[in-house]
Structure formats: C-alpha cells, structure tokens
Amino acid sequence: MQWQCRHRTIDLTRPVVMGILNVTPDSFSDGGRYAGVEAAVERAAQMAAEGVTIIDVGGESTRPGAEGVDAAIERERVVPVIERIARSLDVAISIDTSKVEVMSAAVAAGACIVNDVGALRAPGARAFAAGARVGVCLMHMQGEPRSMQINPEYHDVVSEVSAFLAAERAACVSAGIAREAVALDPGLGFGKRHEHNMALLKNLGHLVALGSPLLVGVSRKSFIGRVLGRAPQERLYGGLGLAALAVSLGARVVRTHDVSATRDAIRMVSEVTEGRVH
C-alpha cells in the first residue's frame, strides 16, 4: 500500500509514524513547549532522528473545549516552522488544519499532506487539495472541538463512522482528488464517549476494509487516562499498547507525541504479523 502525497510516495507496506508537532500555546499535552520556531525545528530534528516518516504541524488546538483562532494567526505559527523543516529534513510534512488559507500557505512552504479534522468539508478545501495534488487525511468528528464532548450520541458508532468516511472519500474523489491520495482517520476522542472509542478500536478491521490507509491517533488521549488514572504525560505505555493493537488490526499510520517508543512498538508488531517467517 502507498500514500500519494504531492511529490512524495509514502510506502505503507509496513506501518509508519506521524509525529505530532504542536506550535500552539494551548495544546492539551504540550501546549507552549514548541511554540517558538527554534524549539519547534529542534523538536522536528529530534523526531527525524528517531525515525519519524511524517511530521504533522498544527497551529490551532483541537482539544475538547478549545477556542478557534484566526487563519492569519495560524499561518504565522506554522509557515516559518514548515519552511525550516522542509529545507533541513528529509521527511514528509503534514499541515493539521481545516482552513483553506492555512492549507495553501503550508503547502507553498513545503507541506505535502493536509490532515483535516473537518474532512475537507470547508468551502474550497476539496478543490484546493485536488489542484495541489496533496495527500489528505479525512477524520470523523461529531460536532466541533469546542462542543464535541458535551453529549455525543450514536446508534452504531462503527457503522456510522465507516459510512461517513466512505462518503467523504467519495466526495473528495468526485472533486478530483486521487483515491490513492486519501487516508482515513476514525477520530478517536473527537465527539465520542469512552464506549465509542473502545468500540472503534475493537472493530478497526471494519475501517481497514474501506481500502484506504487508516491513520489512528491514540497518543495521550483522555480515554487512556480514564482507564489507567494517568495524567497526559504519564500515558505513554497505555498509548503504546493501543498503537500496537491498531497496527495489528491493519492501521498503517500512527500519530503520536512519542516517536521513538511508538516506532519500536509498531515495528515489532509488524515484524511478527508481516515479516517473512523462516
């Protein structure tokens, strides 16, 4: 399996790591830590040394209850960082945004993937992605970050998320985006109760069966804290367990704050499930 992302083709024969680089002051886990350009670029270089395949740069927090920011502020946060990473590191760069203006500026700076929690439903987003020939990741979210965790309800969360992702992919392909450029994300923790997240994780195979690369983000999520009673910075081992489960069920991209440990965990799972047996 491959993911076509503008000038890059990402080989997903084995699962890969997408490293999270939040250049925001209010991320739930590392808010403000990499808000400066130098600190962000230094962190990107560290992730590259740890074996990251994709670096996902975000300039607006999407944690539950987060307030939105203006597109101009978001651009000011992400563009200098993306430009520096693109010049200095041989990694794929993803922009984590739902705003077309930010997508355009980020791609011009060197990003080749648009990772959108809004699944490219903003006016002009699909047309931009098609014209720029970027890779896209379509995520399911019920509601919006500010209110998504107030009272999410589903009749059958697995079927509903699956149907949503299939429909949004079809809309993207109709808009001119290559099917090979599309990855899918069930949006764990985005407008979902604990039982919804557990059901999606247990049934990832249903989403893998859609036929596009599946991206899963479990790193430091609140549902890990609920089970283990751990603060965000203490959820590494719980996240590694879920990352290993996800790739064993067919996920191809794991989005994480903890690149080195996650890469080792999914590499070992991949060796068992996909390596040649002697």
* Sheet strands (E) in the chain: 2-5, 8-11, 16-22, 54-58, 92-96, 113-116, 135-139, 182-185, 215-217, 253-256
Q: Which of 8, 99, 220, 221 is the catalytic position? A: 221
192 carries an active-site annotation:
no
> What does the alpha-carbon distance between residue 81 and residue 56 come to, in Å, rounded to a whole number?
11
> What does the alpha-carbon distance between residue 86 and residue 54 come to, in Å, rounded to a whole number?
12
Phi-psi region of 39 (alpha: psi -120 to 50; beta: other; left: phi over 0): alpha
Residues 6+ positions from 270 with CB-CB distance below 8 Å: 14, 15, 247
255 carries an active-site annotation:
yes
Active centre residues (catalytic)? 221, 255
